[in-house]
Structure 1
Amino acid sequence: MKRIHFFLSSVTAAIFTVGSLFATVHPPIAQAQTVQKDYVNHPEKANIEYAVKNRLMWLYPDGNFRPEQPITQADVVAGLVNVKGLTVGTPVQGFPVNHWAKVYYERANKDGMLNGVVISPNKVLTREEVAKLLVNAWQNVRASVTQKNSEFRKNDSFVQFVVGSRQMKPKAGKFPNGVATSLYDSFGSVTRAELAYTLSFMKKDFLEVREAEVIADKMHNSIKISGGYITVTAPKTRKELEAKFFIVTKSNQYLDTLEKGYLKHPIADVQRILVSVKNKDTNTALVGYRYTKLPKLDRERIWW
């Protein structure tokens, strides 16, 4: 009898332990999700399912997603933290102690995602406010803030920037100055279905950037300088990606590894090396580096 009692006690403890794993997650995520869903015929069904499967968003206790419900600041912050897999945080002064999103805001705060953002977790955000959070979140992934503040983009609205990056779908409305636009509405709200599109896109982009960084490291390690020559080799990648070196000669001729996957050139004639890893269906590199201090192999991250 003592053994049975010990077994039942152990099972009970295990149940409580598993339950505690969901203590910091938005409550509905731990509920049963077996009833008819309200998004089966929604245009964003695939993105909603991706977002739920990858724990970027959640279903409600009744099994529904509520795709047309406007999102709050806390929804966006939690989703972006989950996209980036952040696990370490710093306190957010004045944040409500018992709010479900407290741990997410702390992680977002350490990441720099909340820079210049007025903290208001329950506020329904405008598209411009959502876009600013997206730009902040991608600063240490693709230098979004740096690019947004560049001479070329500094006068763009945040929505213009993120729609151009495909992180948000276009929508007719008005620019921040009130002028009508067919693509870059800044004042409307963002629905949960629209956020599912955004978070799904950004999660896939985040994973591809990380994959590209591994490839760029392999390319870096392939560089050899010997006997007055520099040799570089582009590694094989999955068919959707393109990885290549560019050797820029003293006469500004560009030689690349695209055709043969391999280059050899006199080091004395090399001005700099450029590295690019990108998706074949876009002109924007996932990762870019340049080497300008040859024969030293110091590299600098660049954004194309």
Structure 2
Amino acid sequence: MKKQLKKTVKCVMASICLLSGISFNSSMIEAAFAQQANAKDYQNHVYKTQIQYAVDHKLMWLFPDGNFRPEQPITQADLVAGLVNAKALTAGTAVEGLPAGHWAKIFYERAKKDGILDDVAINPNKVLTREEASLLMNNAWKSMYSRLRDKRQVYSDIAVGNGWIPKKAGKFANGVPTSTSDGLGTVTRGEEAAALYLLNKDVKDTKIGEEIALKFHNSLKSSNGYLVGTVPTMQGKDIRLIIRLKNQNVESYYGGAVKVNASQVDYMAFSVKNSGQAKLLAYYTYNSGTNLTRTNSR
């Protein structure tokens, strides 16, 4: 197939060269194919791994020439589509203000339902500042982390602090100089890929954490005055149950069966993390051993 393609291209190029008076040889064909084969422009990029991940997992795309254009600034529609893909969102709701027939319509609808568009002025073709991109990123992550749900004034600072975008000297959106959290510059496609890589990983890890937490919750029972259950174990995960008794003693469980006098339980906390990491994948609290209602405290 490849040999036949080269033969066809060779014939076409020969015809063009004859008509235009340009000299022609087979090395031109080889050069053309080599150029196409090496068209990817991110092979030596600092975010090569994240870009490849974004492309492989269909979070972002290559252009028809095989390039990614990692230094190209992103538009609002670019980032909205990427965040929706990274979170694997499928449900949407109507969005006003989009140009008729805009390619990102379905992504905006899904983003709106998820809260990604909260406090965002719809302008899909606008090249985003770092502050504007940071607001969208914060909105995408806030459904997983309660600490991100409070409205802030400087979102670029939050984005840099969480590693969603790299540190960059410049100015905040209000013009105040900063050495790390520029809000006025743009965000590149390479930087977007790095953020989407982190978001997609967080979404997948959180799903696993929530499944583990639910498994533990479903195992909890009150039997003959005792609270019984099972703390799951999983390789690569730090899973623990902390029980504070009314006498202020604390008991910790890292796996296996749990049996404790329910009337003596003052407070329980169940958490899931990746081993060796501080980020919580799931965190639920129980205010007593007799009421098994849990609260998502992550």
The two structures have a TM-score, normalised by structure 1, of 0.81
Structure 2 unaligned blocks of 5 or more: 1-35
RMSD in angstroms over aligned alpha carbons?
A: 1.8
Are 1:119 and 2:88 counterparts? Answer: no
Secondary structure of the equivalent of 1:186? coil
Match of 2:52 in 1: 49
Match of 1:136 in 2: 139
Are 1:37 and 2:58 counterparts? Answer: no
Match of 2:206 in 1: 209
Contact 1:35 1:62 in 2 (8 A): no
Partners of 1:280 and 1:160 in 2: how far apart?
28
AA matched with 1:124:
V
Match of 1:266 in 2: 261
Partners of 2:205 and 2:37 in 1: how far apart?
32
Deviation at 1:34, TM superposition (A): 5.5
Residue from 192, 195, 200 that aligns with 2:192: 195
Partners of 2:179 and 2:258 in 1: how far apart?
47
- Listed as ranges, the matches of 1:128-167 within 5 Å are 128-143=131-146, 145-146=148-149, 148-149=150-151, 154=152, 157-167=154-164
Deviation at 1:293, TM superposition (A): 4.7
Residue from 224, 238, 251 that aligns with 1:255: 251
Deviation at 1:98, TM superposition (A): 1.9
AA matched with 2:145:
R
Secondary structure of the equivalent of 2:222? strand
Partners of 1:281 and 1:107 in 2: how far apart?
34
AA matched with 1:244:
R
Give CA-to-partner distance per residue, 1:249-293, whole Å, 9 cap, x none.
1133321113x5443322121002111011233323111111115
Contact 1:136 1:144 in 2 (8 A): no
Are 1:224 and 2:221 counterparts? Answer: yes
Match of 1:291 in 2: 286
Match of 2:20 in 1: none
Bigger CA drift: 208-217 or 83-92? 83-92
Bigger CA drift: 70-79 or 157-166? 157-166
Contact 1:244 1:261 in 2 (8 A): no
Query: Identity, % of aligned pairs?
Result: 46
Contact 2:146 2:297 in 1 (8 A): no
Bigger CA drift: 210-219 or 222-231? 222-231
Bigger CA drift: 198-207 or 245-254? 245-254
- Listed as ranges, the matches of 1:74-85 within 5 Å are 74-85=77-88
Contact 2:263 2:289 in 1 (8 A): no
Deviation at 1:296, TM superposition (A): 2.3
Give CA-to-partner distance per residue, 1:78-102, whole Å, 9 cap, x none.
0011011112222211311121111
Larger Rg over CA atoms: 2
Match of 1:61 in 2: 64
Q: Classify 1:262/1:73 alpha carbon distance in 2 versus 1 (closer, same or farther; 3 Å).
A: same
Partners of 1:145 and 1:283 in 2: how far apart?
17
Deviation at 1:245, TM superposition (A): 0.8
Contact 2:128 2:186 in 1 (8 A): yes
Deviation at 1:122, TM superposition (A): 0.7
The two structures have a TM-score, normalised by structure 2, of 0.83
Partners of 1:172 and 1:248 in 2: how far apart?
46
Partners of 2:56 and 2:64 in 1: how far apart?
16
Number of matched pairs: 263
Partners of 2:183 and 2:232 in 1: how far apart?
43
Deviation at 1:163, TM superposition (A): 2.2
Contact 1:232 1:245 in 2 (8 A): no
Give CA-to-partner distance per residue, 1:140-179, whole Å, 9 cap, x none.
2223542x44xxxx46x21222222222222222223333
Q: Classify 1:144/1:106 alpha carbon distance in 2 versus 1 (closer, same or farther; 3 Å).
A: farther
Secondary structure of the equivalent of 2:144? helix
Partners of 2:274 and 2:173 in 1: how far apart?
33
Contact 2:265 2:288 in 1 (8 A): no
Contact 1:290 1:301 in 2 (8 A): yes
Contact 2:160 2:181 in 1 (8 A): yes
Deviation at 1:212, TM superposition (A): 0.4
